[in-house]
């Protein structure tokens, strides 16, 4: 299978742009230059919102008609941590010992480079009249607030009539080896910020005070006493985890005026954020007292039943690496949570063992293998005319 664009070299070039969220650092310029050389029409899509960083994004498309197949991903990366703990400069894109090293090598500049290489090989063989459209939807705001990226891009593309018919998000979904796993859905995520109010007083005279810590403890016990569910067909059980409990009281003889807790719920398709919010408030109201509850939902749960798109990726993996991936909904959230509202989406990318770690890296052979898998998907999605 011919790859006319080297995905390893492009991965290295992208890593060399220190695009820590929300900094673009030339990474979109680098990718745009490669895509325009292949004939893609590129459109930069910057967005702003008060209280969040400005973010630049890139939409590139070749072809006019349908079906429209898209690859989505992000060029922004997390901070490097202790720079002197890295074996190589995290933004050097070093290739050594069969690996490409650097921040973003796994999550997920290798995926973006692999798809560009797959498209290059496909277009070199089939030309631009292949009976549809191919696009890349690339954000610089996935590792950050996720406010000025994919979500706003999709809304703008919908207005312009450019929403894709199917999409692969190139997140590093494979735990150990290329072809291990495809994500066909994701759990939802809800963060709750609870403040319980009381009356400050002396610990020796509790009848003159109201200890908010005692009620907070009862509230958290009520929320965690029973499982949220037993899991569903495609999901493990939902979980509620208390992340922090804070009082900030330096004195041992003072009942504080308030106590705070933060908890997160990762929920499956047995719930929506609204049903969970009602459940939380019912439990808190049953304990009673004055409290404030602020809830932020970063995404609803979703799942696409196994079908055409997941089957295409499974078949491509089997053909290229001899391994048929498991279909899974494990892990955190990704920008697929936005895309699923517009078209069928699955996630499949590189191996994620070192994502966000010191010495993040990806095997060079796996980057090439990923490009071949994406190329096989394109070949099967756009069959040759009979």
Q: Find the domain containing 308 and state its range.
A: 7-186+301-381
The catalytic residue among 24, 56, 76, 210 is 76
State residue 4's pLDDT score.
84
Tell me: cis bond preceding 148? Omega within 30 of 0 counts.
Answer: no
Q: Each residue of 4-49: pLDDT tens digit?
A: 899 999 999 999 999 999 999 999 999 999 999 999 999 999 999 9
Percent of the chain with pLDDT over 90: 96
Mark whether 71 and 175 lie in a shared domain: yes
Mark whether 150 and 193 lie in a shared domain: no
Q: What is the helix (H) or strand (E) element at residue 371, kind and residue range?
A: helix 364-381
Mark whether 229 and 346 lie in a shared domain: no
State residue 1's pLDDT score.
61
Please check if 171 is assigned to a binding site. yes
Mark whether 51 and 158 lie in a shared domain: yes
The catalytic residue among 142, 180, 269, 347 is 142
DSSP strand pairing (239-246 vs 258-267): antiparallel
Residue where a domain stops, chosen among 299, 326, 354 = 299
As given in the structure block, the two tokens for residue 208 are 């003159």
Q: How far apart are the first and last CA of the chain?
A: 21
Query: Distance between alpha carbon 78 and the CA centroid of its chain, in Å?
Result: 12
Query: Nearest-CA neighbor of 179 among 74, 386, 326?
Result: 326
Crossing angle of helices 109-126 and 27-38, rounded to 10°: 10
Residue 386: helix, strand or coil by DSSP?
coil
Mark whether 142 and 14 lie in a shared domain: yes
In sequence order, the 6+-apart residues with CB closer than 8 A to the CB of 262 are 191, 192, 193, 194, 242, 243, 244
Dihedral sign (CA 230, 335, 148, 13): positive
Mark whether 17 and 77 lie in a shared domain: yes
Contact 180, 358 (CB under 8 A): no
Residue 25 lies in a domain: yes
Residue whose entry in the numeric block shows the structure tokens 């009976």: 131
Please check if 143 is assigned to a binding site. yes
Contact 70, 166 (CB under 8 A): yes
142 catalytic? Reply is yes
Q: Each residue of 98-150: pLDDT tens digit?
A: 999 999 999 999 999 999 999 999 999 999 999 999 999 999 999 999 999 99
Please check if 74 is assigned to a binding site. yes
State residue 340's pLDDT score.
96
Label residues 41-79 b or e (16+ Cβ within 10 Å = b). ebbebebeeeeeeebbbbbbbbbeeeebbbbbbbbbbbe
Residue 1 lies in a domain: no
The per-residue pLDDT of the chain, averaged, comes to 96
Residue 2 lies in a domain: no
Mark whether 156 and 45 lie in a shared domain: yes
Mark whether 106 and 232 lie in a shared domain: no
Contact 148, 340 (CB under 8 A): no
Mean pLDDT of 145-173: 96
Nearest-angstrom CA–CA distance, 140 and 163: 19
Nearest-angstrom CA–CA distance, 217 and 295: 19
Mark whether 271 and 349 lie in a shared domain: no
As given in the structure block, the two tokens for residue 19 are 């695009």
Q: CATH number of the domain that 239 lies in?
A: 3.30.70.360
Please check if 36 is assigned to a binding site. no
Q: What is the pTM of this model?
A: 0.91
Contact 16, 88 (CB under 8 A): no
Residue 307: helix, strand or coil by DSSP?
coil
| pLDDT over 70 (residue 2) | no
Contact 166, 69 (CB under 8 A): yes
Mark whether 231 and 372 lie in a shared domain: no
Q: φ, ψ for residue 345 (rounded to 5)?
A: -145, 140
Name residue 191's beta-bridge partners: 264, 296
- Give how many domains the chain has, as a whole number: 2
As given in the structure block, the two tokens for residue 300 are 């609803």
Mark whether 309 and 295 lie in a shared domain: no
Q: What is the CA radius of gyration of the chain?
A: 24
Residue 144 lies in a domain: yes
Q: Each residue of 74-106: pLDDT tens digit?
A: 999 999 999 999 999 999 999 999 999 999 999
* Whole-number Cα distances in Å, 323 to 234, 313, 316, 319: 21, 11, 9, 8
């Amino acid at each position: 299978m011919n790859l006319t664009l080297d995905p390893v070299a492009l991965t290295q070039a992208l890593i060399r742009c220190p695009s820590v969220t929300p900094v673009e650092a030339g990474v979109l310029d680098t990718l745009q230059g490669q895509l325009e050389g292949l004939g893609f029409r590129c459109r930069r899509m910057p967005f702003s919102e008060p209280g969040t960083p400005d973010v630049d994004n890139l939409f590139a498309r070749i072809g006019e008609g349908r079906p429209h197949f898209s690859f989505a991903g992000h060029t922004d990366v997390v901070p490097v941590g202790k720079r002197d703990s890295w074996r190589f400069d995290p933004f050097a894109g070093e290739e050594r010992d069969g690996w490409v090293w650097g921040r973003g090598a796994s999550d997920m500049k290798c995926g973006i480079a692999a798809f560009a290489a797959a498209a290059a090989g496909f277009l070199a063989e089939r030309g631009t009249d292949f009976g549809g459209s191919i696009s890349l939807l690339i954000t610089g705001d996935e590792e950050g607030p996720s406010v000025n990226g994919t979500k706003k891009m999709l809304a703008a593309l919908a207005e312009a009539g450019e929403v894709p018919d199917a999409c692969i998000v190139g997140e590093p979904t494979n735990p150990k080896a290329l072809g291990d796993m495809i994500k066909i859905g994701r759990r939802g995520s809800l963060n709750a910020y609870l403040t319980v109010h009381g009356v400050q007083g002396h610990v020796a005279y509790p009848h003159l005070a109201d200890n908010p810590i005692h009620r907070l403890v009862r509230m958290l016990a009520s929320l965690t006493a029973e499982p949220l569910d037993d899991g569903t067909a495609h999901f493990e059980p939902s979980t509620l985890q208390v992340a922090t409990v804070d009082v900030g009281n330096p004195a041992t003889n003072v009942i504080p005026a308030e106590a705070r807790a933060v908890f997160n719920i990762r929920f499956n398709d047995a719930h929506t954020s609204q049903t969970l919010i009602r459940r939380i408030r019912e439990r808190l109201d049953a304990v009673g007292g004055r409290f404030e509850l602020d809830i932020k939902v970063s995404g609803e749960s979703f799942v696409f039943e196994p079908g055409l798109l997941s089957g295409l990726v499974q078949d491509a993996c089997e053909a290229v690496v001899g391994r048929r991936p498991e279909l899974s909904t494990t892990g955190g959230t990704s920008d697929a949570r936005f895309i699923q509202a517009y078209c069928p989406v699955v996630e499949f990318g590189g191996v994620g063992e070192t994502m966000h770690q010191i010495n993040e890296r990806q095997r060079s052979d796996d980057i090439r293998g990923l490009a071949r898998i994406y190329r096989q998907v394109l070949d099967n999605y756009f069959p040759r005319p009979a």
